[in-house]
């Protein structure tokens, strides 16, 4: 399967950030797919700039409904209409800051499928859960509760992101990453042998150019979801270079 390196800009980026996107497009490597997920304010302009290139533009969240009285939210259909091709759902910052439940995340992932978007569905344990030896149980519950009913290997991507590794500079050992990714793969295959075997499972959490090669070489790691290091094109491309 073709790996994917996706950048989550979070609440960063003004229109002047277009230069970084242009640099990503210019430097895109051929060994993996690239995705940039800017804030919603930049979706339309970024999608226009990326049109015709190999870089997909994604949103960072969507509502489960198509439209309606949900002030401040945007639907998957609106994201597609803006020209974007993907959306991140269930990021741990959304789960923590907006109390998103697994059921909410399932609705969002299903909405993305409805609108024809790629969904990057994020799961991951907290530091307390890791220390208590409860990582696998937590990942299992998140998969059970948040996966959409139908697995679409072309449009559904899982991102394993240990909450304690996000933005901290800490990463799990490659052995721990391999264990969690193997568990996720096994669960996906049990649900749908064909789609589950070919869905991409990304690792996310303090991925940098310096550690990308080692992390991307782990079995069942099919790319990366990158936060901080995606804000500078040189760093983002340095991570993607793990696949060059
Ligand atoms: C993220 O927020 O998805 C993430 C992986 O962040 P960082 O790379 O900054 O740890």
CA of 145 to the centre of ligand 1 (A): 23
Alpha carbon 176 to chain centroid, angstroms: 19
- Residue pair 119/159 in contact (Cβ under 8 Å)? The answer is no
Of 30, 147, 23, 169, which Cα lies nearest the Cα of 90?
A: 147
Separation between Cα atoms, residue 203 and residue 180, nearest integer Å: 10
* Sign of CA pseudo-dihedral 220, 111, 194, 190: positive
Ligand 1 pocket member 169 (CB < 6 A): no
Paired tokens of 168 = 């901290």
CA of 164 relative to ligand 1 center, distance in Å: 10
CB 144 within 8 A of CB 138: no
Which band of pLDDT confidence, cut at 50, 70 and 90, is reported for residue 16?
Answer: very high
- pLDDT (0 to 100) of residue 29: 80
Q: What contacts 125, CB < 8 A, 6 or more positions away?
A: 134, 135, 138, 139, 162, 163, 164
Which residue from 141, 77, 63 is spatially nearest to 109, judged by alpha carbons?
Answer: 63
Q: Is the pLDDT at 64 greater than 90, yes or no?
A: yes
92 CB near ligand 1 (under 6 Å): no
Which CATH class for the 4-243 domain?
alpha beta
Residue 92 CA to ligand 1 center (angstroms) comes to: 10
pLDDT tens-digit map of 107-152: 999 999 999 999 999 999 999 999 999 999 999 999 999 999 999 9
- Which residue has the CA at smallest separation from atom 4 of ligand 1? 227
Mutate to test the pocket of ligand 1, among 205, 221, 238, 240 (most ligand atoms within 8 A of CB): 205
Q: In 17-160, which ranges are E strands?
A: 33-37, 55-59, 86-89, 118-123, 156-160
List 91, 100, 125, 129, catalytic entry: 91
Reported confidence tier of residue 14, pLDDT bands at 50, 70, 90: very high
pTM over 0.85: yes
- What is the rounded CA–CA span in Å between residue 104 and residue 41? 23
pLDDT tier at 30 (50, 70, 90 boundaries)? confident
pLDDT score recorded for residue 155: 98
Is any ligand 1 atom within 6 A of the Cβ of residue 7?
Answer: no
Confidence of residue 50 (pLDDT cuts 50, 70, 90): very high
- Sequence spans of domains, the chain: 4-243
Per-residue pLDDT, averaged over 21-29, amounts to 95
User: CA-CA distance, 41 to 183, in Å (whole number)?
Assistant: 37
Dist. CA 8–CA 59, nearest whole Å: 9
- 161 catalytic residue (yes or no): yes
């Amino acid at each position: 399967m073709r790996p994917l390196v996706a950048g989550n800009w979070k609440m960063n980026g003004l229109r002047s950030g277009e230069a970084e996107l242009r640099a990503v497009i210019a430097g895109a490597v051929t060994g993996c797919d690239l995705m940039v997920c800017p804030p919603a304010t930049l979706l339309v302009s970024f999608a226009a700039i990326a049109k015709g290139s190999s870089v997909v533009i994604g949103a960072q969240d969507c509502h489960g409904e198509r439209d309606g009285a949900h002030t401040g939210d945007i639907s998957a259909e609106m994201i597609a209409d803006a020209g974007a091709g993907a959306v991140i759902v269930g990021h741990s910052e959304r789960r923590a800051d907006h109390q998103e439940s697994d059921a909410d995340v399932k609705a969002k992932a299903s909405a993305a499928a409805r609108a024809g978007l790629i969904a990057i569905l994020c799961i991951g344990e907290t530091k307390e859960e890791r220390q208590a030896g409860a990582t696998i149980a937590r990942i299992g519950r998140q998969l059970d509760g948040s996966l959409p009913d139908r697995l679409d290997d072309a449009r559904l991507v899982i991102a394993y992101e240990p909450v304690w590794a996000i933005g901290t500079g800490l990463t799990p050992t490659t052995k721990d990453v391999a264990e969690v990714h193997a568990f996720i793969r096994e669960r996906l295959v049990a649900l749908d042998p064909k789609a589950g075997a070919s869905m991409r499972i990304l690792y996310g959490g303090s991925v940098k150019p310096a550690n990308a090669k080692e992390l991307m070489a782990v079995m069942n790691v099919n790319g990366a979801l990158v936060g901080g290091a995606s804000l500078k094109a040189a760093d983002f491309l340095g991570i993607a270079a793990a696949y060059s």
